[in-house]
A = this chain, B = another copy of it.
Amino acid sequence: MNWKKTLASTLVWSKSKGINKLFKQPGSQRVQKQLASANLVEVYLIKKQRSLVGLFATLMLTLHCQSIAGVSDDTSPLLSSSKAPTSEPVSSLSSASLMVEKRIFEMPHFTTFGGKQIKNVKVGWEAYGTLNDAKSNVILITHYFSGSSHAAGKYDENDPAPGYWDSIIGPGKAIDTDRFYVISVDTLANLNAYDPHVITTGPTSINPDTGKPYGLDFPVVTIRDFVNVQKALLESLDISKLYAVIGPSMGSMQAIDWASAYPDWVERMISVIGAGQSDAWTTAALEHWATPITLDKNWNNGAYSKEQAPLNGLAASLMLITQNALTPSFFNLTGNTLGYKNVESAPLNDIRQSHSIVNWLRERAKTRAKSMDANHLLYLVRACQLFVAGHQGNLEQGLASIKAKTLFIPAQTDLLLMPYLSQSAHQGLTSMNNDSTLVTLNGKLGHLEGVTNVSAQAQAIRQFLENDKAAMQ
């Protein structure tokens, strides 16, 4: 009954009372004031508390910064590094403010898991820390569905926010860049096709054979293809062993596929808010993200220009993704800040109008959609739908080849990749006598716990990487 209690305990059935109670926590007057002025960066720096209000502020910061990235028209000076030689390792500054650069890795030819050829593959990558002489200190971070290789640090001191897992990656942090060489790579068909900090190859790329964007002529790509591009980059750096591979959500799919497909490479694997496979439920659930795009009249079977892109369909998809990745607790707190009421006059009087909470969701999605591509979303959905660790007949076969020690970190309130998915992969490995551990993120943000609040399990991650399993339990 825990989940019911968890949800019920934060549900504000008498809304006005509830929000006041939440805001009466210590230090919350300041948070309230800051939320009102939307100056959320300052809130984040002043007070990083673990209460729901603190999480709310932190998440709003994340959303705020994503929005900023989405509407930025700046051409980042960092893209000038695209002219640097490929496969060159980056030395980060091991200081409190980790500064990072985007690099490019290129492959003249790439063969997909489905046997199709892609020419001129180009992806962005970042690295933090220093590669040791033995090349034995490499940790690969694999990114989530709407994420990128920007896992930690800042490109510029004035960036509004650092990479998404900066709370656990950096000097002295759980994934300690004083010790490890941490590397992260943009996937093929990365969602943020028009983000100047993302470099990817996908349906928006120019097909060398036609001189036009691929559209739906781009071959289907899989989680395995993301892994294989990463492997090629690592091999270009003369790396042949991963101390660990770690990723959240779609990144967890890459991490466990790495461990299954290349067991001699992977010594440790951490799956955060993850899955060992897309079961029938998950594959069906992902389809609803694709459908609005294919209904948009601008989609035109995938043949559209950036100027006439299916942005309404893409925004509808992002609205659903945001809902799936969050929880009633978060939405109801947001509703309170918006002054949400059931009987709002605009939606009561006009079927074409919407409630405040819907307008909030839609406007955020429209802003984010500007840096994203609709076809890329379809291809990422497909990659996730086709996923099973090892890409063999079933999960059992995929797990059987894994040699790595594994750590699974599901989020208790996750409604997208529910905890049973991590549990079944963990139990499968345990039943095969693999060394597997599972700890849980217990916050109220659902799936997003694994991105926004992963530091709640920083100690477990640190101890796992230090081989100190006993201390974790």
Interface residues of A (CB under 8 A from B): 1-4, 7-8, 11, 13-16, 113-114, 216, 218, 220, 222, 276-285, 287-288, 291-292, 295-297, 302, 312-313, 316, 319-320, 323, 327-328, 331-332, 334-336, 338, 340-344, 347-352, 354-355, 357-358, 361, 378-379, 382, 385-388, 391-396, 412, 415, 418-420, 423-425, 427-428
Contact = CB atoms under 8 A, between A and B. Distances in A.
Q: Main secondary structure on chain A at its contact with chain B?
A: helix
Contact of A220 (B15, B312, B348): B348
A349 B382 CA distance: 11
Contacts of A424: 8, 11, 13
Contacts of A327: 281
A358 B283 contact: yes
Given A8-B420, A11-B279, A295-B297, 19 more contacts: A1-B2, A3-B3, A8-B419, A8-B423, A13-B276, A216-B352, A277-B342, A278-B342, A279-B332, A280-B340, A282-B328, A283-B355, A283-B357, A287-B354, A291-B316, A291-B320, A295-B295, A295-B312, A328-B420
A144 B13 CA distance: 23
* Across the A-B interface, the 3 shortest Cβ-Cβ residue pairs: A280-B335, A342-B388, A13-B424
B316 A357 contact: no
A113 B382 CA distance: 45
Contacts of A279: 11, 328, 331-332, 335
6 contacts: A3-B3, A8-B420, A220-B348, A285-B323, A292-B295, A355-B385
Contact of A382 (B287, B332, B347): B347
A451 B105 CA distance: 55
Contacts of A423: 4, 8, 11
A373 to B, nearest CB: 14
B2 A287 contact: no
A420 B347 contact: no
A319 B287 CA distance: 9
Given A16-B394, A351-B216, A386 B418 contact: no
B418 A7 contact: yes
Nearest to A310: B295
